[in-house]
Amino acid sequence: MPSSKLQSDSSPDTTSDNNYKLVVLISGSGKNLQAIIDNIEAGNIKASIAAVISNRADAYGLKRAEKSDIEAKVLDHTKYDSREAFDEELQSLIDSYSPDLIVLAGFMRILSDHFVEHFTGKMINIHPSLLPLYKGLHTHQRALADKQTEHGASVHFVIPELDAGKVIIQGIVDVKEDDDEESLANRVHQIEHQIYPHAVKILAEGQLEYNAGEVLYDNKPMLNPLKKQLI
């Protein structure tokens, strides 16, 4: 199984030629966006964010982008007659930036198959469970109801089937006897902020590749996700 220290050289990157470009899609607070921004600014991720796009004008993540001088765009899904019409406009907007990677960071929209297929191998998402467990909603509640001893988050490639793409990395947290949904969710958020930037990092460095439906890690087929335990 591949393993990862999830640690990088802490010295900041003083170069300006971070040619690997990201577009980040958000709908809310943008905490995972901020974790990625922080790692880019610290030089841990050799990439740049070309734009942050939200389907909600009140998403706080837009302010996070603006604070870091990142272009922030709003594409209000309520202004479109259908999901397909919105996705078509969103696809055109993303394509205008020619990104290497699209990062879904709390983007609360189910995307059409055509949209997802257009960006095959170039779009990742983070889901609050240890996939394939608990696809969909209410993951913390379901983990507690099943008396799981471990829970966590998974970064995966996006495919048309919901939460079913190849998993890149998983962050694991212990479920405590006195946990409720809020306390468990808080620890899952902590591990999310570690594993999502790391997934972006290894993609930007070319250490991880998507090739014709197969995921390669260090030029070898990735048989299992990377793992990170919250301490």
| 91-107 pLDDT tens trace | 999 999 999 999 999 99
SS3 at position 168: strand
Name the active-site residue from 77, 127, 140, 193: 127
pLDDT of amino acid 212: 85
**DSSP of 117-165, one letter per residue?**
HHTTTSEEEEESSSTTSS-SS-HHHHHHHTT-SEEEEEEEE--SSTT-S
pLDDT of amino acid 11: 38
**Known catalytic residue: 114?**
no
Give the DSSP letter of residue 68: T
Q: Give the integer Cα–Cα distance in Å for 48 and 18.
A: 6
Superfamily (CATH) of domain 21-229: Formyl transferase, N-terminal domain (3.40.50.170)
- Parts of the chain with a pLDDT under 50: 1-16
Per-domain boundaries in the chain: 21-229
**Amino acid letter, residue 27:** S
Q: What is the mean pLDDT of the chain?
A: 93
Give the DSSP letter of residue 176: P
pLDDT of amino acid 17: 54
